[in-house]
A = this chain, B = another copy of it.
Amino acid sequence: MKVLIVDDEEMIRAVLKEYIEFEGGEAEEAQDGMEAVKKCRENNYDVILMDVMMPRLDGFSAVKEIRKFSETPVIMLSARGEEYDKLFGFEIGSDDYVTKPFSPKEVMARIHAVMKRSGTEKKPRDVYEFEGLKIDIVGRNVSVNGERVELTPKEYELLFYFVENEGVALTRERLLNQVWGYDFYGDDRTVDTHIKMLRGNLKEYRKFIVTLRGLGYKFET
């Protein structure tokens, strides 16, 4: 989370910065609209907190300028009594507003809301872990006791399918359909061969792939 705080009052900037950094975010400051625009050209912020009344270049004009090259969400900080649609909406391109005096908590809530809306919040990656067997599907990594294991494409696909269906009894037919594809018309013993290779690569965790005699296989820990 990287936030640009634009306000000419140092006190306000300091307080907001404090809160953002307390939550593990990163905050930079700008004293006026001019500086804000410049900083936006050089950095990618997740959110901009923009005061309206400022010397040199006011908040509205700054947002207008920033909108020429960036879609970064903006939350306006303003005195009470400003017109609603000037603060929030289409006219200038800001995403939310807070009226002064505001509580930092309120501002933080707005930041999270805006970031959630614009999809900036990072989602943690799914990594499965079964004892010493780590499986990162998105990154296509498999490691056994911290050591990276290289698998062939079919082995990856097979393992991923097993993991996503932990504890489910899978027939060879189903595996062929799901992992190989509906258009595969080969021998179902092909599965066995790949199971063998996969087990070999999983070392001591070969035990997770259980044979169900007369049926197929199952991934179970």
Question: Which A positions have Cβ atoms within 8 angstroms of B?
Answer: 28, 34, 37-38, 41-44, 65, 71, 89-90, 95, 117-118, 123-126, 137-140, 152-154, 156, 167-169, 212-215, 218, 220
Q: Which 8 A-B pairs have the closest CB atoms?
A: A153-B214, A140-B169, A44-B126, A139-B167, A42-B125, A43-B126, A138-B168, A43-B125
CB distance from A136 to the nearest CB of B (A): 8
Complex contacts, A169 vs chain B, CB 8 Å: 138-140
Q: Which residue of B lies closest to A93 (CB)?
A: B41
**Are A65 and B44 neighbours in the complex by a CB distance under 8 Å?**
no
CB distance from A159 to the nearest CB of B (A): 14
**Are A38 and B213 neighbours in the complex by a CB distance under 8 Å?**
no
A58 to B147, CA, bound (A): 40
Complex contacts, A71 vs chain B, CB 8 Å: 41-42
